[in-house]
Structure 1
């Protein structure tokens, strides 16, 4: 089964994942069921032995042995169940994380980050209950069925009375299972919405504090809380109603069995010990209502599997097997179009950008600049047309080849790694090259002044937006053939931006640099400017020539 395919990802597939522990869980559960069924018969024999004055010790000893087996089975079941759920949860979370990362920005665009985190953490653990809950549910049905058979062996009329009451319990459980499944899905979806809103608020915590809108944001984040409360109350109400109904049916079963058993005892058809055993079996049958908890687990597991399957349905970015031929980094857009949610972001873009040049991409907001940059880095694929690097379609390149050749830096870089050094190197280049990249992007001055220099833990390294951008630039600097910079210098002060801009435009490695920018100075220093407007290329040329157009000048305010 493919790591990113849901062809085999079903409730049954999750159950089968726990196959290493399920036999032990089943054996423990069946042992408990067998003890539950055997104990009334043994105690009944003990009652008859007391009445007849024969050897009682043998039956009491056997009863103690059965109790000991029940305790051992319960301990084994608890251990195996915990281990099974933990292992399945880890397996499922690994698959979910891999699916999210392999899908890229576009693959997971329809989910908020908080929702994704909720599914990877909460839904995965709920789904992992599928195996133990299924085995436990099947095993829990053994005592009532066995009780029916044993009652029939004692006296058929006892079995008839028992069966009529159990049918009522089954109806109650069926209604409970259907309602619980609906509520479980609604509860998990509301949890995800709450997590998504909280994640948004955390990302914008500085803006919220600066704007003084803490109270408004608190209300917005907690807006789904009444729905969560309502779904929780519905769960408990359904559970309470079903438990009460089962509790009413239980005494009815016991009274019916005892009434018929008493008549049979008077008629001499059964012994006192058999009547005692029949009463115990009636209690076991009434205990079928205790399945509500297991059914609740099954419902939550089913909801978890469903929500996990949606993530696993994300199609991964497919890579080819080709390598890049020698070349200067020539970048070609061939009749490229991109649409999203019914809107055209790029419309039949044709560009042939020379290798080794510094190319500025300018245009008003919504012109498609970031989309053009994302295509060059293959962070998304065009809906029509091709993007080629030195004659090879990006889709046909090996992932390792593509990522070595192309580096990206963004307006709001997310820095990853245990230390500042890892944030730059990504663990893939030598310290010497890391230092060179930091110097080239003006990040060295910042990193060297930290308490532990480049080895400072990333969470302990205070940084401004401009300093984060410099580290993001340094991380992208390792690219061998193409640098894609999406407004990656917007937070820098003018002096630092000028230094980095000179480094970019005078790159000694002669890589192609695609620079999305809003700054006139950056466009002026570029070899070529691509002017986008409403998803189309309006003009391509040197900045000095385009500057003669008043509409071009308006872009920079």
Structure 2
């Protein structure tokens, strides 16, 4: 237990250091703006410390009837410098924070896309959006907050030095209260950091619940469970409110403590200054300067506010860092030789959610053949399809294409060689032509139309007012039409391997039959892996691999496997009652019985 606790603490410290390093990297992207902010902040702080001394000199020159014009001009110049530094500093802080935030978001998006499915295995979609939008913005402010927070303590040090130069006992009186202020600020920083970190995590959970609800809004409305979903989304709200109130209580507490201690410290210093003035040790102007330095040196609100902002920046940095440390898929530098598209699974093992899905799976898909993957729900059919095209890496083993392990290939080689169509395709692009041509370099109109015809999508596309130029947002699509666009995108991809992950499940029987004829006809030169839930689909494949509890139970033609009742049971949920089966299913049953 002690060892585990020590390991957890070491991991936490490493995460904090990594997050702080990330904030430093983001700060560097402010470049000249961060430098300008630092310069203006330093000049502003120096001017702020110099102003009380100039005011004191001005007062003394007036009291002793001396020429005060120089000191008045000096006061005006310092005030102008303060205004200029404040204005330029605000501009520099904004531009620098924007640059840091943009870099963090760009880095996050790039990494999340590289993670693929792994991104949503650890983080929900809503939480990722929260980290990308809110946490990255908080972390992007780090440079400005660090500069301001660091310099916020300089006025106290400068005031102490100035008081010593005016009269040493003033500095002694001032020093007596500083340790208390330091302890209070340190306690405030610790408490605020914990509260803000928990607050940001709570925000992420609310965002995740909201994204889930929006994704299933039609189901929620159909089930009339809006009130229940609203409660689920807002379940975290009381905890969020309590954490927010906790942050305000911490700020109120330190303000109250400061309101008690600071006046006492001011009274102590000014009392010493009064005695020094009466004894002739200091002048009237120095008395005023001492009063201003006490007020400047005990300015409690600004450091407290900046420490809270620094806590938010570091909390945001940790949330961004957690995403960036999730290991992304690595690619090699090898290229594919010319080949027919033979795909081999070698000793594949995979664990998902602490459950063994595959354990030493071996399989060879002959070049140019069609392989149907059959099995009950949850047996790993889609996972096998994902591993086949390296959308997912196994924990152990390799997938080899034409003698080259996929893990050694560069990203472009893999994506050029392997095309995908999914059950619920994500349609990406401005127009329907863009959707079909996704991933292709300047595809021709003929290629787009040919792929659409092969996928039986051309008919509904041409009925639209602008045809292939119709904007995706203005094209009402059914589930089957979306699948046909996904198939067209896969058919337009001229790779040597084509993987269909239940990509015809929403199609009617006639359309599926036409798609099957394309797969066995003009696309027969490609190696095809088809996740199948219908007997008709499996019947048209050269080979069927039957998965059962993550292992290969049998491999062979559909007609041979059909003799096994356990194999036929894989299709039972999808087979219509006797007398109403589709023509393709009836033919498959007759030929294999």
TM-score by length of 2: 0.90
- Indicate yes or no: 2:327 matched with 1:310: no
Count of residues in correspondence between the two structures:
553
**427 and 553 in structure 1: CA distance in 2 versus 1, 3 angstrom threshold:** closer
Shift of 1:61: 2.4
8 A contact 1:6–1:312 mirrored in 2: no
Report the Cα distance in structure 1 between the residues aligned to 2:84 and 2:242, rounded to whole angstroms.
Answer: 40
- Indicate yes or no: 2:87 matched with 1:72: no
8 A contact 2:435–2:489 mirrored in 1: yes
8 A contact 2:19–2:317 mirrored in 1: no
Report the Cα distance in structure 2 between the residues aligned to 1:7 and 1:390, rounded to whole angstroms.
Answer: 42
Report the Cα distance in structure 2 between the residues aligned to 1:450 and 1:111, rounded to whole angstroms.
Answer: 39
8 A contact 1:349–1:536 mirrored in 2: yes
**442 and 484 in structure 1: CA distance in 2 versus 1, 3 angstrom threshold:** same
**327 and 10 in structure 1: CA distance in 2 versus 1, 3 angstrom threshold:** closer
Partner of 1:523: 538
Report the Cα distance in structure 1 between the residues aligned to 2:482 and 2:222, rounded to whole angstroms.
Answer: 20
Report the Cα distance in structure 1 between the residues aligned to 2:37 and 2:75, rounded to whole angstroms.
Answer: 23
Partner of 1:550: 565
Matched position secondary structure for 2:122: coil
* Partner of residue 226 from structure 1, selected from 225, 238, 252: 238
* Partner of residue 138 from structure 1, selected from 147, 150, 159: 150
Report the Cα distance in structure 1 between the residues aligned to 2:373 and 2:279, rounded to whole angstroms.
Answer: 100
1:222-243 CA-partner distances (Å, limit 9, x unpaired): 1111111111111111111111
Matched position secondary structure for 2:339: coil
Partner of 1:341: 353
8 A contact 1:100–1:314 mirrored in 2: no
* Partner of residue 494 from structure 1, selected from 493, 498, 509: 509
8 A contact 1:249–1:286 mirrored in 2: no
* Partner of residue 368 from structure 2, selected from 356, 367, 371: 356
8 A contact 1:6–1:313 mirrored in 2: no
Partner of 1:400: 412
Shift of 1:488: 0.8
Report the Cα distance in structure 1 between the residues aligned to 2:524 and 2:571, rounded to whole angstroms.
Answer: 30
* Partner of residue 158 from structure 1, selected from 138, 152, 170: 170
TM-score by length of 1: 0.96
Partner of 1:278: 290
- Indicate yes or no: 2:307 matched with 1:298: no
Report the Cα distance in structure 2 between the residues aligned to 1:322 and 1:8, rounded to whole angstroms.
Answer: 36
**70 and 549 in structure 1: CA distance in 2 versus 1, 3 angstrom threshold:** same
Report the Cα distance in structure 1 between the residues aligned to 2:174 and 2:536, rounded to whole angstroms.
Answer: 89
Alignment of 1:262-273 (within 5 A): 262-273=274-285
Q: CA RMSD in A?
A: 1.7
- Indicate yes or no: 2:489 matched with 1:475: yes
Partner of 1:54: 66
Report the Cα distance in structure 1 between the residues aligned to 2:304 and 2:429, rounded to whole angstroms.
Answer: 46
Matched position secondary structure for 1:224: helix
Shift of 1:7: 10
Shift of 1:71: 0.4
Partner of 2:591: none
Shift of 1:549: 0.7
1:438-492 CA-partner distances (Å, limit 9, x unpaired): 1101111122222321111212211111111111111111142111111111111
Report the Cα distance in structure 1 between the residues aligned to 2:94 and 2:28, rounded to whole angstroms.
Answer: 16
* Partner of residue 259 from structure 1, selected from 253, 260, 271: 271
Q: Which runs of 5+ in 1 are unaligned?
A: none
Matched position secondary structure for 1:263: helix
Report the Cα distance in structure 2 between the residues aligned to 1:384 and 1:508, rounded to whole angstroms.
Answer: 32
Q: Which runs of 5+ in 2 are unaligned?
A: 1-16, 573-593
